[in-house]
A and B are shown apart, each in its own frame.
Chain A
C-alpha cells in the first residue's frame, strides 16, 4: 500500500524500524521478568489498592456516616471522584474511535494504552455510585427488570438511572473495541511463546491466523465499533452532566453543561494519557513509537480542550450575570468569592491558564513540562468537579442550612485507593499485552516511518512537490 505523504509532516515512528523490530520492541516487555521500576510501582499500587479495600469495607461496615456528608452537602468527594474518573475514561475511546474516523495516523502509537486506561478509569468511576448506595448488596436494584418487589421500579425519569445505562453501554463497547484491537497482537504473542503461555494466548486470540478474511472482518468491525463509540463518547459525559443540569439548582442548571462536560472529559482524559504514556515509554523503552510528535499532538488537544473549557467557564460566568436572575448571579458570586474560592482559583489556574503554556512548541515537546502539566490538569479537573458539586451545594436557597464540608479520612482513603486500583490494573496490563498496537503501528510504517518520510528518507515521495515548486518558481 503506497500513500502520498506531504513532506511537511514529521515521522511518527523513529529509528528506521523494520516490521520485525516493531514486533520485538513492543512484545518483548511482556516476555521478560519485570524490571525493578515495575516491581516498585506495582508494590506501591497494591498498597493503595489495599487501602481502597479497607476504606470501602469500613464504609460498608459502619455506613455512609463515616463520610462527612451532611444535610446540605449530600454529594462530596464521592461524586466528585466519580465524575473525575468518568472524565478520564474518555480519552481512550476518543483516540480509538474519533481519531480513527478522522484517519489520524498518530493515534496508532497511543490508542492501545489509552483504551486500556479508559476501561480502568471507568471501573474506578463505577465504584463510587455503588458504595454511595450504602447497602452495596442491594446494588442490583438499579437494574430495571420484572421484580418481586411489587410495583417497585427504577425511576426512569432520573438522570442517575440514565447514567447506569450510559456508563454500562460505554464500558461494554470500550471493552469490545479494545479487545478487538488486541486479537491480532495476542496472536503475535502466541506465535512467539511456548507452553502454558502459548495455550493461554491461543485461547485469548480466538484462533486468529491473520488470514485476509480475518483482516477484512477485523476492519469492518473496527469501523462499526468506531461508529458506535463516537456517539457513546459524547453521551456518557453528557448524561453525567444531566445529573446536575436537569436540576433547578443555580450553577447546575445551565444548558452548556453537556458539551462543556464532554470537552472537559477529553481534556482530563488526555492529561491522564500523557501521565501514563510518559512513564510507560520511558520504563518500556518505547520512545521511538511514542515520539515527541505524539506528545506534541496530545498537548495540542489539551490546549484546545482546555481553552474550550475556558470559553465555557467564562460563558457561564457571563450569562449568570446576564440572566438577571438573582440566584444564578449569587451562585456564581459564591463560586468565585465564597468560602470555597480556593477551589475555583485552583480550577481556573490548572485548567485554563496553565495549559496556555502549550502555545510554545518547545514546551509542548518538553517531557518535564508535559509531565508537570498533565498532573496540573488532573488536579484542575478534580477541582472543577469539586467546585461544581460541593461549592454549589454549600450555599443553597436557604441561608439557614448553609454549610461547609471537609472529607473524612475514609473518603480520602477511598479516593487514593481508586488510584491504587487504577495503577494496579494498568501495570498488570503492561505485563500481559502489548502496550502499543503492534499491527496498527505496522500499518502506518510506510506512511510515517522515518526511513520513509524523514529527512534522510529516499526522496521519491517528495518528487511531485519538488517539481511543482520548480514550475511555480518559473
Chain B
C-alpha cells in the first residue's frame, strides 16, 4: 500500500517559475503603486490570509473528520496534512504584516494610525482589541497553536505508517484526542484572528456573523483546492485507489458547503439590509456603489455556478465538471476575500494620503463615486499573477510535505473502509 510521491525537478521548476512570476508581479505592483503602496500591501494581505485560511481549514477538515469517525476520506487525508503544514510558512508571511504594522511599512489598518484613533470615538472604543499588541501576539500565539496541532497530528500519522496501528490503535487514538482538542480552539481563535486580520480593515463596521462567513469561504477554497490536487495527482498516475466515489463525496462537500456559504451570505446581507442601520449598511453600500461587478460575480461564482453544476449526481463523479466547479469556486472565494479586503483598506489609504496632502477626508465617511482603479475596483493581471505566485508557493510547500510520507496512510484503521468506499 506504500505509495511514494516524487517531487521531481520538473515540478520544482514549474512551481519555482510560478513563484518568481508572482514575485515579479508584486515588485511591479510595488513600484507602480501610490505613495503608501496600498495595492501591493492589500494584495499581500489578501493572499496571505486566503492561503493561511486554506491551511487552517485543511487542519479543521482533518480534525473534524477524525472526530466524526469518517472512514471514506482516509485515502486522501495526506493531502490535508500537507496543506495544513502551510501554516508554518503562513506564519512567516503574517510576521511580515506584523512587522509592517510596527514599522509603519504599510497603511492597511485605520486603527494602527495612532493619530486617527485619538480623534475617532469609535476606534478609540475598540482600541482595547484593535491594537498592535493584540495583532502581534494574538497572531503569533494563535497560529503557533494551530501549527502545534498540525505538526503533532502529522507526526502521529507518519509514525503510524512506520510502526503499525499500535496496540488498540494507539496512534489513531492520539490523533483523535488532538483533533478533539483542536476543534474548540479553532472555533474560538479563528474568529478572533479573522476579526483582526480582515474585519478590522473596515474599522468602524462589525458583524457577528463575519467569522463564520469568512470561515465557510476558506473551507470551500480548501475543498476546491483538494479536489484539484487529487485530480492532478491521479492524472500523474498517483492515488490509483481514489475513485469516482471519493470524488463524489468531495463534490457533495463542495456543493453542500457552497449552499451553506450562500445561506450565511444571505443571512448577513438580508439582516443588515432589512434593519437598515447606517453603521451596518455602510459596508454593503460601499461595495454596491464602487464594486458592483465583483459583488455579483461573488454570488455567480460561489452560488449559482456550483449549485447548478453540482446539483446532479453524475457531475460530482466526472473529472471535467469537478475541475470546472472547483476552479470557479476557488477563484470565487479568492474574489470573496478580495471584496472583504480591498474596499476598507482603500478608503483608509485614501484618507491617509489626503491627510498627508493636507485635505480633510474621513475613511469612515461614505466613499461613493470612487473612480475605477485597477487592482481595487477589479483584480487586474498583477493581482492574478500575485495569486498565482502564492498558489505556487502553497503547492511547493504541500508537495514537499507530500513527498515525505506515503500517499496512502497504510496503517490507518479506516483504510479498508476508504478502499471499499461506495456512494450509493
Contact = CB atoms under 8 A, between A and B. Distances in A.
Interface string B338-369: 00000000000000000000000000000000
A18 interface: no
Interface string A455-473: 0000001001100110011
B209 interface: yes
B414 A6 contact: yes
Contacts of B69: 9
Contacts of A8: 169, 172, 413-414
Interface stretch (A55-63, A88-96, A186-194, A246-254): A246-254
Contact of A468 (B172, B187, B268, B415): B415
Contact of A324 (B71, B126, B212, B274): B126
Contact of B125 (A5, A7, A247, A324): A324
B275 A259 contact: no
Main DSSP-derived SS at the A contact region = helix
Nearest to A9: B69
A136 B252 CA distance: 45
Interface in B265-313: 267-268, 271-272, 274-277, 279
A259 to B, nearest CB: 6
A253 B71 contact: no
B184 interface: yes
Interface in A120-163: none
Nearest to B122: A324
A253 B411 contact: no
Interface in B168-190: 169, 172, 180, 183-184, 187-188
B77 interface: no
Interface residues of A, number: 45
A323 B416 contact: no
Contact of A238 (B165, B206, B267, B277): B267
A342 interface: no
Contact of A256 (B161, B162, B209, B272): B209
A472 B417 contact: no
A325 B277 CA distance: 11
Interface string B100-129: 000000000000000000000111011001
Interface string A212-244: 000000000000000000010010001000100
B272 A469 contact: no
A316 B272 CA distance: 15
Nearest to A227: B311
B264 interface: yes
A231 B302 CA distance: 17
A248 B275 contact: yes
Interface of A: 3-9, 101, 231, 234, 238, 242, 245-248, 253-259, 300, 304, 307-308, 311-312, 314-316, 319, 322-325, 359, 461, 464-465, 468-469, 472-473
25 contacts: A4-B417, A242-B271, A245-B271, A246-B271, A248-B277, A255-B267, A255-B271, A256-B207, A259-B209, A259-B212, A259-B264, A300-B67, A307-B187, A311-B187, A315-B208, A322-B129, A325-B279, A359-B180, A461-B416, A464-B419, A465-B165, A465-B416, A472-B161, A472-B164, A473-B164
